Amino acid sequence: MGKNLRKEIMDKNQRREEQYNILLKIIKEKCISYHPHFPDEPPTTRRTRIVYPGNFSNNVMINPSMVCFCDIPIEDLGIHIRKYSHFGLSFQKSFLIKKGATPLLYVERNSAFISTFRSEYFDEMVKLYFESCSSIGSLHDLIKNESNPEEFIKMVESTPKECDKISGFILYLLSYIKFFDSSKSDDDEENFYMEREWRSPCYILFEIADICRIILPSSYSKRFRNDVPGYVGQITFSDERLG
């Protein structure tokens, strides 16, 4: 947690303090949320996905409102620590599944597909979908061309409700696809495969007893026990996992 602080705070000790504070904040609030982190968000609410211009295979075209987890074995945790942070918490899969979590589908960018690559095929098909079939694409047309709202309203009213449902389903499905480049090393931030990411569209509400493991540097162990006396679960020292 607190990965973005690596770019914002250059001093390692100060950055770790901020990341530790994020960990404590999550435990105190008993909620893992996504941006913009509304405190009164119902746990089953899903936000509308935001579609950006660009290629789908760049992993930035669709920005899903999701809570993300990584299913990484403890013995492989060093890779994730180097990429992200020394602080984290984990839950049982059975607990997260009940909260709506499910694994992503990873697609290798350069995997051969007929006469092209899978990344190019996905980019072409997703672009075709938004241009030809998606009511969301029509909404973007309205934003770009507000001078003809009557035509847009007429078009929306003539669109079958089934098409709206299918568009929502396709966009939801695309939110669970992530491209990666296997030619990059496991430590490379663009090689996402080792993360084994799971996503949930819901805020994750929990009790301290639901946490099965806390991950932090060994120097924070005593301090954490004092700050969170109600936690009696496992603690894994991140600095011992870097090898």
Measure the N-to-C terminal CA separation of the chain; round to a whole number of Å. 20
Give me the number of domains the chain comprises.
Answer: 1
What pLDDT score does 123 carry?
A: 95
- Strand duo 177-180 + 105-108: pairing: parallel
What pLDDT score does 228 carry?
A: 96
What pLDDT score does 143 carry?
A: 46
Which stretch of DSSP H or E encloses residue 79?
helix 77-83
pLDDT less than 50: residues of the chain: 140-145
What pLDDT score does 147 carry?
A: 53
pTM of the model: 0.80
**Closest listed residue to residue 84, CA positions, set 220, 224, 241:** 241
What pLDDT score does 142 carry?
A: 45
What pLDDT score does 35 carry?
A: 76
Which residue segment(s) compose the domain that 147 sits in? Answer: 5-240
Which region holds residue 64: left if phi is over 0, alpha if psi is between -120 and 50, else beta? beta
